[in-house]
Amino acid sequence: MHELKVNGKVQEIDADPGTPLLWVIREQLGLTGTKFGCGIARCGACTVHVDGEPVRSCSFTVAAASGKEITTIEGLSPDRSHPLQQAWIAEQVPQCGYCQSGMLMTAAALLKARPAPTDEEIDFAMTNLCRCGTYARVRKAIKRASGTTAT
């Protein structure tokens, strides 16, 4: 049995120690905002925060998550009021939307460490893949959320 704190709520999880955290989040807790993309920690669609740091949950075992604080897209804000969520809506960032929860969680980790990131810092942090090619709008929304954009 693994004890995880997910979005502020303690959860007892019965799963094999090697089970990816992603499956626990989606299948056992029903939090389906976090997506499965590549399964090899490459695309970033499954990004969540573990103790405040971004982690690709397809490549993170439930055993490693035990005792840690997990934040998923559902826990980023209770009412979609996080500055990034607001900026995402304002800039119409998503196209198909599949990668966007991972994008948002990475961007949230970036802004926590760098409240006013440069273009370069955004490019090196936002390694998430988007098949719709929303990268330019992602960057614009991050700048809007950080208050560093003039447009």
Partner 1 sequence: MRLKLSTGPWAAVLGGSVLIGPLLLQIGSEPGPALAAPADARDAGLRAFDQVALVLRHPRCLNCHTTTNFPGQGDDRHPHVNLVRRGLDDRGVPGMRCATCHQSEENLASGVPGRPNWRLAPLSMGWEGLSDSELCRAFKDQRRNGGRSPEALAEHLRSDALVSYGWNPGGSRTPVPVPREEVARLMDVWVHAGAPCPR
CB under 8 Å to 63, separation ≥6 — which residues? 2, 17, 18
CB of 120 to partner 1, least distance (A): 9
For the bound state, the minimum distance from the C-beta of residue 115 to partner 1, rounded and expressed in Å, comes to 10
Q: 13 CB contacts (<8 Å, ≥6 apart)?
A: 1, 2, 3, 4, 24, 28, 62
Q: Which helix (H) or strand (E) holds 110?
A: helix 100-113
55 is a site residue for partner 1 (CB under 8 A): yes
Q: How far is the CB of 83 from partner 1 (least distance, A)?
A: 15
Q: DSSP letter string over 75-103?
A: GS-SSS-SHHHHHHHHTT--SS-TTHHHH
Binding mask 60-79 for partner 1 (x = CB under 8 A): xx--x---------------
Question: How near is the Cβ of 61 to partner 1 at its closest, in Å?
Answer: 7
Helix (H/G/I), strand (E/B), else coil: 11 = strand
CA atoms of 51 and 86, how far apart (whole Å)? 24
Q: Can residue 13 be called a binding residue for partner 1 (CB under 8 A)?
A: no
- Cβ closest to partner 1, residue 6 vs residue 21: 21
**Which residues between 82 and 121 bind partner 1 (CB under 8 A)?**
106-107, 109-110, 112-114, 117, 121
Contact between 39 and partner 1 (CB under 8 A)? yes
Pick from 62, 65, 50, 59: which is nearest to 19 by CA? 62
Q: Which is nearer to partner 1, 7 or 19 (CB)?
A: 19
The residues that touch partner 1, with contacts defined as CB under 8 A, are 18, 20, 39-42, 47, 53-56, 58-61, 64, 106-107, 109-110, 112-114, 117, 121, 123-127, 129
